Each structure stands twice: as structure tokens, then as C-alpha cells.
Amino acid sequence: MRIVLVGPPGAGKGTQAAFLAKNLDIPHISTGDLFRANISQGTALGVEAKGYMDRGELVPDEVTIGMAQDRMKQDDAANGFLLDGFPRNVAQAEALDAVLKKDDMQLDAVLDLEVPEDEVVKRIAGRRICRNDSAHVFHVEYNAPKTEGVCDVCGGELYQRADDSEETVRTRLEVYHTQTEPIIDYYRAQNLVVTISALGKVDEVTARAMDALKK
Ligand SMILES: [Zn+2]
């Protein structure tokens, strides 16, 4: 099964992608991991990407597409894959279609995780991270630490990342609306879009997604 996962920041995409990939026994391909792997292995595309990043420039679509293409050809992706964070605009979606077509492949579904905008803001802006370990994550409302501002796990100080401020979240949502959301219409025209609500517990959302994908 070849799946693209889309959804606004704060929809829990990374978490869902990991669970779904495991349930479906296909690799979870995220752009973050693609970049890290190519850069650490020093591939030609990795070197190119790093050049742009070091200059503070955006990595061009062709580079990202090239990395995704290489990854989709690896053995573990023979039965499919789940793309997370890519494509992020219509140009990338068109390029992905072209690349797949060349290898006689096509997407089976585009899973769209839906979360109301105010909920996204609440989820992200309420997040607090431990200064000792970024895996110690809390939420002022949904997963409050026993003592305000103190990590339950190690006693470290909790803080809000600059990226998680309400203002930044609103900006990220705006970027999502203008650049990424149009790909949903693009894929809708191909009858590939499956929309589910991303509200509720993580396992509930995974179950909902699995049900929707089976249909
Ligand atoms: Zn901690």
C-alpha cells in the first residue's frame, strides 16, 4: 500500500505515521529522516541539500524528490510505503506522480488528518518540554506535570519551545493552508483522499485510520 499522510502541524502526524507503518508493515518515510540519512551518509543529494541549508536557503523540490525516489526503491518499500511530510506542495505532488509513473507505480490513498484550527493551537501552544531530555514532553492541559514547570520524570525545568508559541503556530498553519492544503484538492481529483478526524486518543485515531484505509 502506497500512502501519503497529510495534516496540519499539531495533528499528530509523526505519531500516527509510526503506528500505521507498523500496522501495515511498510516503511515510514519522513522528510526529516530522509534529510538526516542523506546528509549523514554524505550522498550526492545530501551534500547538495546541506549546501542550501548551510546558506539558510530552502532545499529545492528536485533534491527532496530525488531523496524520496531513492528511498522508495529500497527493498523494504517493495510492498509500499507511507510518506510523511512529503509532498508538501502541488509541484511536489505532481513530481511524485511522475516519478511513480515511471516505475509503473501509483498511490493507493492519501490520508488526511483533520483537526480544528483552535485545537491545533491549543495542542501545540500548551506543550512543555524538559530541558534535560526533549523526550520528556508534557501539556499544560492534556498531560500536566504534577508540579507546574517541573518534569515528572527527572525533575528538570519545563519550557516552551520558541517554535511552539501561539504566534508561530498560527504562521505555520497559514503556510499549511496556502501551500500544503491545495494538494488535498489535487489528490481529491484522483479520488485518493480519505479524511478522518485526528481528535481523540492516539490508538483511537490509529484504529479510525486503519478502518478508513481498508475501505
Ligand atoms: Zn525530564
- For position 134, what pLDDT does the model report? 87
- For position 112, what pLDDT does the model report? 96
Task: Report which of 123, 132, 59 is spatially closest to residue 89, judged by C-alpha positions.
Answer: 59
> Which strands make up the sheet holding 2-6, listed edge to edge?
28-30, 81-84, 2-6, 109-114, 193-197
Using N-to-C axis directions, what is the helix angle for 13-24 and 202-214, rounded to 10°?
50
Q: Is 10 among the annotated ligand-binding positions? A: yes
- For position 81, what pLDDT does the model report? 96
Task: Note the pTM of the prediction, 2 decimals.
Answer: 0.84
**Tens of each residue's pLDDT in the chain, 215 residues:** 999 999 998 888 888 999 999 999 999 999 889 999 999 999 999 999 999 999 999 899 999 999 999 999 999 999 999 999 899 899 999 999 999 999 889 999 999 999 999 999 998 999 999 999 988 999 999 899 999 999 999 999 999 998 899 999 999 999 999 999 999 999 999 999 999 999 988 899 999 999 999 88
Task: Report which of 82, 81, 83, 38 is spatially closest to residue 59, judged by C-alpha positions.
Answer: 38
- Helical spans, DSSP H, in 55-201: 61-72, 90-102, 117-125, 166-175, 182-188
Length of the chain: 215
CA 12 to centroid of ligand 1, rounded, Å: 21
Task: Report which of 197, 194, 204 is spatially closest to residue 5, judged by C-alpha positions.
Answer: 194
Pull the grid cell for residue 108. Answer: 493507493
Which residues are designated catalytic?
13, 88, 127, 161, 172
- For position 50, what pLDDT does the model report? 94
Q: Domains of the chain (ranges plus CATH)?
A: 2-214 (3.40.50.300)
What residues contact 60, with CB distance under 8 A and at least 6 apart? 52
Q: Is 12 among the annotated ligand-binding positions? A: yes
Q: Is 90 among the annotated ligand-binding positions? A: no
CA 148 to centroid of ligand 1, rounded, Å: 13
CA 151 to centroid of ligand 1, rounded, Å: 5
- For position 12, what pLDDT does the model report? 86
